[in-house]
Structure 1
């Protein structure tokens, strides 16, 4: 059984009498330990898809399964538990708490988890052991995003969801962040989903899901994913 399964997922937003269909009949699978890149233009439905998978939004029709569990049937309390224990989030903007040090930001996430990783060990993993006691304002954008990744990893989640994780970073820093995500996935066997509009990043993925106008245009498997160092855009 696949680790992540979307079955005929639809999402309709209603504003008064107006209905907007964000997703229509979306079906795909992701295997455990894969890097899956979900690619599409702005407004294609990528973030809606990610929010449904992450338990931050509900679907209108269909089913979403993670590790054999149908998350589309969960109530609000169960959904909060799912977000807390099973999912790590990395966003375009780092969302760090400014009056906590880098390692304290990571510790907050590990305190929310059943089976957390050691905060300092994760800081070391992302290359920031020597910046652990700095506050976010004392860190560069790339360093702040590394802290955000460390915070997500410290929860030891089943699934790491990244929404345009390099969107606020320059080219070289963005590549370093993607290399960190790629290396982490390979070493730990964690399943990683990266949302992007940059089709060059599909070369780093095990699986590529192309979204167009709220539906799946194609799903493809890379037999030989490229190391991020070898990808130019």
Structure 2
């Protein structure tokens, strides 16, 4: 049984009397411990797919299972609990609380879940051992993104979802962040899903899903995963 299972998932948004299909019959699987990169142009349906998988949006039709549990049938309270316990989120913009230190930003997330990791230890692992007492405004963009990743990892989630995690970063910093994600996945066995419009990033993935106009175009296993430091774009 796959860790993530999407089966004929559709999502239709309604604007007045107009129906806007965001996903059509999306079917794919992701195995436990894989890095999965979902690639597609803006408006292809990547974020809708990620939001459904993360329990932030509901689907119109189909089934979504995580670790054997049918999350597509969850009510609002169950989805809140699912987001809190099982999923870590990393967004393009860091969403840090400005009047809390890096350590406090990570600690506040760790308090929400049953088996958190030590916040200070996770910050050390992402290379911020010396910056724990700094506020977000005192950190570079790359450092703030590392805090955001540490915040997600400290929850000890089953699934780490990343929405264009390097979109607001320069090239070198972006590569460092992707290397951190790849190394973390390998070290911990966590399942990581990254959505991006940058097709070069598919080289770092165990599984590549291509999406266009709300439809899954292809799902392929990458037989030769490339370390992030060897990828150029």
TM class, shorter-length:
over 0.9
Partner of 1:115: 115
Give, in angstroms, the shift of residue 8 of structure 1: 0.1
**2:68 corresponds to:** 68
Aligned-residue CA RMSD in angstroms?
Answer: 0.3
Correspondence for 1:169: 169
What SS class does the counterpart of residue 218 from structure 2 fall into? Answer: strand
Q: How does 1:45-60 map to 2 (within 5 A)?
A: 45-60=45-60
- Map Cα deviations across residues 42-95 of structure 1 (whole Å, 9 max, x no partner): 000000000000000000000000000000000000000000000000000000
C-alpha distance in 1 between matches for 2:157 and 2:121? 16
Residues 1:127 and 2:127 are matched in the alignment: yes
Identify the residue that residue 104 of structure 2 maps to in structure 1: 104
Aligned equivalents of 2:131, 2:148: Cα separation in 1: 13
Which residues of 2 match residues 1-233 of structure 1 at below 5 A? 1-233=1-233
How many Å separate the matches in 1 of 2:137 and 2:168? 15
Number of residue pairs the alignment of both structures matches: 233
For 2:104 and 2:43, how far apart are their aligned partners in 1? 35
Q: TM-score, normalised by structure 1?
A: 1.00
The DSSP-based 3-state class of the residue aligned with 1:157 is coil
Give distance in 1, aligned partners of 2:123 and 2:79: 28
Residues 184-224 of structure 1: CA deviation (Å, up to 9, x unaligned): 00000000000000000000000000001101000011112
Shift of 1:151: 0.0
The runs of at least 4 consecutive aligned structure 1 residues that moved more than 6 Å come to: none
Q: d(CA) in 2 for partners of 1:27 and 1:222?
A: 18
Q: For structure 2, which runs of at least 5 residues remain unmatched after alignment?
A: none
3-state secondary structure, aligned to 1:131? coil
